[in-house]
Amino acid sequence: MRILIVDDEKLARERLTRMLQSMEERPHEVVGEAGNGVEAVALADQTQPDVVLLDIRMPGMDGLEAARHFTDFEEPPAVIFCTAYEEHAVEAFDLQAVGYLLKPVRRENLQAALEQARRLNKAQIAALSDTDKQRRTHISARTRRGIELIAVDDVRYFQADQKYVTVRHGTGEIIIDETLRELEEEFDDRFIRVHRNALIAGRYIEGLDRTPDGYYRIRLRDVEERIEISRRHVPNIRRFVKSL
């Protein structure tokens, strides 16, 4: 069984590695170690583990969000959460769908969890989607380079085109299979609706331009293109620009 270990504490990762190496009756291969959620998603995409031993509380992207990004994989790995907070785990998951181990992890408990480990199924994905109410720190998408993670702080705008949404960020763009409504609900205090097909990051707004035919377009820092503002949203955007 190919296993990825994710924990922000190096000693915790080393301890799990030693446990896995001691299980002679069923050898396991540790394919990598990561210290946070961003590293975990990238490394899991590269190594394609069968199981991820995933700490919950980590700086930056935590384990809960990382597990959600795993669902974008063609074959998501099984996830066994490792946490020092039993109450946190009980509140966060449907325990019949998502497994977890309490720290300090005991060898017999780890072995039992691995015996029952299966790849993420529909029930597990639903549990992660329905119970994790924390907002994401990153947007993920599968591209020709694999899974790409874009920090939400780096997103300039979301723009819908039929059933897909383009995410414009500091160095380019990616396409995601989400709706503007879902994104607006999740990031309502960070992105402003300027059109039925566009959400703009408030932190990057510089001002408004009016075209000769009376339409308004919004200027964004570090973005050449101008995004059209629908007439119904102009008053709200004007007020926002004046407050800058």
The region that residue 184 occupies, defined by phi over 0 for left and psi between -120 and 50 for alpha, beta otherwise, is: alpha
Domain boundary among the residues 64, 98, 131 is at 131
Residue 144 lies in a domain: no
Q: How high is the pLDDT of residue 33?
A: 97
* Residues 59 and 160 both lie in one domain: no
* Residues 105 and 6 both lie in one domain: yes
Cβ contact 34:61 at 8 Å = no
Q: How high is the pLDDT of residue 121?
A: 56
Residue 234 lies in a domain: yes
Q: How high is the pLDDT of residue 42?
A: 96
* Residues 125 and 9 both lie in one domain: yes
Tokens at 3, concatenated? 């296993």
Residue 137 lies in a domain: no
* Residues 72 and 122 both lie in one domain: yes
* Residues 25 and 106 both lie in one domain: yes
Domain boundary among the residues 67, 102, 131 is at 131
The radius of gyration computed from the CA coordinates of the chain, to the nearest angstrom, equals: 21
Q: How high is the pLDDT of residue 126?
A: 59
- Angle at which helix 107-116 crosses helix 10-21, to 10 degrees, equals 70
Angstrom CA distances, 127 to 64, 95, 103, 195, 224, stand at 11, 9, 22, 33, 41
Q: How high is the pLDDT of residue 91?
A: 46
* Residues 12 and 80 both lie in one domain: yes
Residues of the chain with pLDDT under 70: 86-98, 118-134
pTM, full prediction: 0.78
Q: Cα–Cα distance between 92 and 111 in angstroms, integer? A: 23
* Residues 166 and 126 both lie in one domain: no
- In the β-sheet with 198-201, what is the strand arrangement from edge to edge? 172-176, 164-169, 155-161, 198-201, 191-195
Task: List the end-to-end C-alpha distance of the chain, in Å, as a whole number.
Answer: 54
Domain range spanning residue 35?
Answer: 2-131
Q: How high is the pLDDT of residue 96?
A: 37
* Residues 78 and 6 both lie in one domain: yes
